[in-house]
């Protein structure tokens, strides 16, 4: 369906996968979405059914399921990926998730977001970047859609990228098949605030212990490549 055999350029291949997932699904959390929740194969089947014209309407998805679908496709293509979740520390840890892909040429992570239908770049150089690496400096980066770049960008569903600024307080990284999980915090994070999650109450690493399994670090001091390694 993607016909990527004739597309050698790495970035164009990623963009084709991202837009494919976005075009053949719709951001909607309802009864139809919940019927497939926890069954990633069902979401992939729904995307394919719409792409082939077998389903009149696109399957209902959201950030985590679109991320998972894109990750499965890229895994099949041989790319290394990791899942990023970002948290608004001024709320009860409202979160958002997206995918990052290792560029095999530069050996650097790059963000791909199938829900907002964007990637991210450095404003001055134009180079694609990892939002997890760049979360501290929102003034130096910008999202890019299919036809334009800038914080004012909105997806075809009307989702505005500037909403993500409020979530760039804490960055959770899950890689290597969930074997590696650690989190980083920016200077905007309210680290002493307490939260509630089901029966848990406490600071971030108490209510999100699995996301701090391999550490909780200052993003200005530590890399996103291995927990605890210096920038």
Q: What is the pLDDT of residues 3-39, one digit of tens each?
A: 898 889 999 999 999 999 999 999 999 999 999 999 9
pLDDT lower than 70: segments of the chain: none
The total of structural domains in the chain comes to 1
Would 227 be classed as within a structural domain? no
Give the pLDDT of residue 5. 87
**Residues with Cβ within 8 Å of residue 202, at least 6 apart in sequence:** 194, 195
Show the tokens assigned to 178.
């969930």
**142 lies in which domain range?**
62-218
Would 96 be classed as within a structural domain? yes
Give the pLDDT of residue 127. 97
Give the pLDDT of residue 1. 86
Give the pLDDT of residue 21. 98
Give the pLDDT of residue 188. 97
Instruction: Tell me the CB-side half-sphere exposure of residue 210, using CA atoms within 13 A.
Output: 7
Would 19 be classed as within a structural domain? no
């Amino acid at each position: 369906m993607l016909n990527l055999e004739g597309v050698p350029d790495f970035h164009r291949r990623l963009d084709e996968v991202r837009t494919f997932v976005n075009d053949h699904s719709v951001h909607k959390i309802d009864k139809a979405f919940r019927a497939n929740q926890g069954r990633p194969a069902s979401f992939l089947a729904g995307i394919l059914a719409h792409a082939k014209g077998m389903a009149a309407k696109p399957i209902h998805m959201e950030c985590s399921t679109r991320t998972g679908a894109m990750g499965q496709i890229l895994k099949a293509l041989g790319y290394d990926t990791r899942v990023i979740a970002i948290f608004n520390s001024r709320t009860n840890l409202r979160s958002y998730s997206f995918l990052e892909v290792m560029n095999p040429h530069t050996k650097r992570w790059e963000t791909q977001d199938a829900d907002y239908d964007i990637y991210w770049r450095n404003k001055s150089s134009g180079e694609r970047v990892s939002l997890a690496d760049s979360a501290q400096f929102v003034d130096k980066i910008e999202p890019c859609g299919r036809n334009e770049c800038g914080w004012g960008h909105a997806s075809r569903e009307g989702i505005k990228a500037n909403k993500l600024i409020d979530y760039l307080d804490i960055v959770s990284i899950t890689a290597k098949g969930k074997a590696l999980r650690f989190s980083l915090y920016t200077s905007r994070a309210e680290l002493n605030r307490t939260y509630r999650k089901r029966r848990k109450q406490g600071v971030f690493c108490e209510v999100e212990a699995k996301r701090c399994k391999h550490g909780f670090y200052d993003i200005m001091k530590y890399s996103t490549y291995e927990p605890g390694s210096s920038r």
